[in-house]
Amino acid sequence: MEYHKIDKKELYLRTAMWKCYKKRCVYCGVALEVRHIQVDHILPEDESKIDFNDKQLNEYIKELKENGFEKNSIENYILSCSDCNNKKSNYVFSVSNMRFFHDLASRNSLKIYKEMKRMKMGESELPVKNTVQNFQNYSVADLYCYKSVYKLIGQMKFEYGLGDVRIDAYLPYSYDDSISCLISFKEIYQSHLFITYSEDDIINFMFTGYKTNIKENKRGWCTICENDSLKAYQIKLPNITFNCTYETLEQMAEICDSLYEEYLLQKININNILESDMFPQSSKDTFKLISLKNEIYILFQKYIENHQYDQDKNIETNIFHLQFNNPDFYIDTNINETGNKSIHAKIKVVKNGDYFDFFWRPGYSNSDMYDKMLDFDNVIKWTALYTYNKLVYDFIPAALQENYINNISFFKKLRNRKYKIIYNAEYLFDNNFVISYKNE
């Protein structure tokens, strides 16, 4: 069987499922608005909730895995209301129920996939009309809500509506999250066309012209034409353009500015936890720490090989985990008393001329399946700053010192201690063996 593997945070998945499942919770049948729907795993992503004493359930799970089953696929997702999803989080279906919902999801998977593809191609684009639509069925209550920002099971939710415009968004909560949003406009609310955007479009359009007057035409999502004979106002976003009122533009500007402020605040919170804001960022979860001179890197590589995490566990520096046929390495830890495993940090290594660039990436622990931002205490998971300090002030000087001790002649060791050299960070920087990218 072919599985359509996809993250359940995928931009168009929720709306596509909402349409294909007749806008109702599959479990209880209650009617749903798009902003309230949730996507539930039929077979839980967290296997600790599965009763492995159930022989039939074990056989069914084994059967799924033998067929290449993907937990994060449309075939394992069901549209749910929040109440059913919360109840389901503490309950695992019997085999018969699980087979029923898997069969239902499989029969709808291709339809959902095609609907997502159609939405991505922009086939829902509205034409520009000369007049504003009639809003006889429009209810202000649907698009009005006080601004609220709250955490929801590893996600950060933003809601704000002023009557003509409402935006529901997911803010970045962990280091690899992106912002996404759903916009509802009074002008097109009754059409059931829900406008959703990912991070690039939000930044390039909705966040432009922050705090400027909309009449200055610095906002990338609207156009204004005012003269003696004509007053025209338009919303212009990717895949959609329509006429609107001036009040709609004012409300959109206020909500976009508020969303931008919350987005920046959340990014600052994430970087504060990671202690990464003083290093250049190359991707969402990757920060450049240092560059190491080629000849020093060769010595450091030998040091790593001599201090692997699976060697003598009584030696404190045996914490490195080399990747097979790859210069990258983990700063690892031993298995503790409970058998839990964690990685302090991941180091990506890239050749760059006469140097090797070292990039920090977050490690992981058992708590990552619930919340990736936990455990950055420099004991379980190391922050970017702490990792930088360990490399520059401890590990690299120790590698040079170990190489010196291993290569000095036995005669010199016995006859004259003046040959002893102490390596430290100052020595590395003064001789351009290490280039730091830390912004003091």
Note the pLDDT tens digit of each residue in 327-386: 999 998 754 444 556 899 999 999 999 999 999 999 988 888 778 999 999 999 999 999
Q: Indicate whether this model's pTM tops 0.75.
A: no
Asked whether residue 122 carries a pLDDT value surpassing 70, the answer given is: no
Going by C-alpha positions, the residue among 77, 43, 48 that lies closest to residue 60 is: 43
198 Ramachandran zone, left/alpha/beta (phi>0; psi -120 to 50)? beta
What DSSP element (H or E) covers 287?
A: strand 286-293
User: How far is the CA of 196 from the CAs of 21, 119, 388, in angstroms?
Assistant: 19, 10, 39
Asked whether residue 133 carries a pLDDT value surpassing 80, the answer given is: no
pLDDT at 129: 41
Token pair in block for residue 354: 């006469």
List Cβ<8 Å contacts ≥24 apart for 245-254: 245/132, 245/164, 245/187, 247/164, 248/164, 248/165, 248/185, 248/186, 248/187, 249/214, 249/222, 249/224, 250/214, 251/162, 251/163, 251/164, 251/165, 252/165, 252/221, 252/222, 253/209, 253/214, 253/219, 254/162
- Yes or no: say if 160 and 255 are a contact pair by the CB < 8 Å rule: yes
pLDDT at 203: 95
- The residue with tokens 């006080």 is 146
pLDDT tier at 281, thresholds 50, 70, 90: very high
- Yes or no: say if 80 and 30 are a contact pair by the CB < 8 Å rule: no
- Yes or no: say if 266 and 273 are a contact pair by the CB < 8 Å rule: no
Asked whether residue 172 carries a pLDDT value surpassing 80, the answer given is: yes
pLDDT tier at 134, thresholds 50, 70, 90: very low
User: In 222-309, where does DSSP find H-type helix?
Assistant: 246-274, 294-305
Max mean pLDDT range (72-81, 131-140, 306-315): 72-81
Q: Give residue 183's Cα distance to chain centre.
A: 21
Token pair in block for residue 369: 């399946």
pLDDT tier at 196, thresholds 50, 70, 90: confident
